[in-house]
């Protein structure tokens, strides 16, 4: 179920929404010119972490792993990024969106239990 195309698409949408949320939070950190750097650099750093640290042969990804990582670390990275996005939304006052994202991520991981167990076994 974790690598079913529909589930992969839902995870992709959750990842995009998380990056968007972190970008919105980055924009609101300051109102000076530095916000332009923050709104690009913080989500870009998140993208690089998400892309770079991967479990080799993960069937829900390309299978390639630029920085080989064990499954527990990968799971912690994913949950940390989603958690950061939830907190970012809450911090900028989007409480409903924060709750919706948090619940959606929780449901996604419950539905993807086989992927979670796979990650924990690697």
Both structure tokens of 93: 């006052």
Q: How far apart are the first and last CA of the chain?
A: 18
pLDDT at position 63? 67
pLDDT tier at 93, thresholds 50, 70, 90 = very high
Residue 43, pLDDT score = 96
pLDDT at residue 120 greater than cutoff 90: yes
Residue pLDDT, tens place only, 20-57: 999 999 999 988 999 999 999 999 999 999 999 999 88
Q: Which of 31, 27, 69, 35 lies closest to 50 in space, CA to CA?
A: 69
Calculate the average pLDDT of the chain. 92
Domain range list for the chain:
5-121
72 has a pLDDT exceeding 80 = yes
Q: What is the pLDDT of residue 6?
A: 87
């Amino acid at each position: 179920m974790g690598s079913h195309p529909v589930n992969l698409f839902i995870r992709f949408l959750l990842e995009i929404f998380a990056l968007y949320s972190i970008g919105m939070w980055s924009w609101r950190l300051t109102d000076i010119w530095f916000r332009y750097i923050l709104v690009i650099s913080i989500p870009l750093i998140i993208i690089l972490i998400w892309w770079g640290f991967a479990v080799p042969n993960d069937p829900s990804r390309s299978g390639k792993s630029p920085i080989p990582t064990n499954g527990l670390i990968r799971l912690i990275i994913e949950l940390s990024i989603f958690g950061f996005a939830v907190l970012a939304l809450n911090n900028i006052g989007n409480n409903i969106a924060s709750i919706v994202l948090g619940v959606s991520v929780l449901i996604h991981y419950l539905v993807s239990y086989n992927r979670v167990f796979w990650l924990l076994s690697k």
